[in-house]
Amino acid sequence: MENIHLVRGSVVFMDTDAIVNAANRTLLGGGGVDGAIHSAAGPQLLEECMTLCGCATGDAKITKGYRLKAKYVIHTVGPVYHGRADDARLLSSCYSRSMDLALENGCRSIAFCCISTGVYGYPLEEASRIAVATVSKWLTDHPDCGIRVFFCCYSQTEYEVYKEITGLS
């Protein structure tokens, strides 16, 4: 886990090449972290998102970061939790597709928020295990990528769960 780090705070303020937005399928902003990212990035983010024609669940699309510290925003659409096996596959895909886009765009660092654990109802511990396992496997499969990954935990509860799963602090 040498390229994986934990951060307590909002992904909005991360000074990384890319941050990951837990977006909805329209990519046109919403509540929670999605709304905070759109607000901080400025109206140009919404204008660019309008040209992307939405995004499928489990996929990701990339835009400029505009007024954010991050150069890019990777928008990914997590699944609404229903307790089905497909939920885990789609959530895992959010993380791997985001990593793919980071690599394709020359990013050396990426910061993830917790995807699908808010209003989409994914249980935090299960979602966190999927996130860490998927990113760890992706990094193992791409040993020369040099991408540093930051899991941004907005709440202390999120931080404690990630700390337990990763053994990091």
Taking only the tens place, the pLDDT of each residue in 25-45 is 999 999 999 999 999 999 999
Q: Token pair for residue 83?
A: 């307790």
Q: pLDDT tens digits, residue range 106-164?
A: 999 999 999 999 999 999 999 999 999 999 999 999 999 999 999 999 999 999 999 99
pLDDT at 80: 98
Rg of the chain taking only CA atoms, in angstroms: 14
More confident: 2 or 153:
153
List the helix and strand counts (H, then E) for the chain: 5, 6
Q: Which domains does the chain have, with CATH numbers?
A: 4-166 (3.40.220.10)
d(CA 157, CA 60): 26
pLDDT at 2: 84
Q: pLDDT tens digits, residue range 59-72?
A: 999 999 999 999 99
pLDDT band at 83; cut points 50, 70, 90: very high
- Which amino acid would we find at residue 107? C
d(CA 21, CA 23): 5
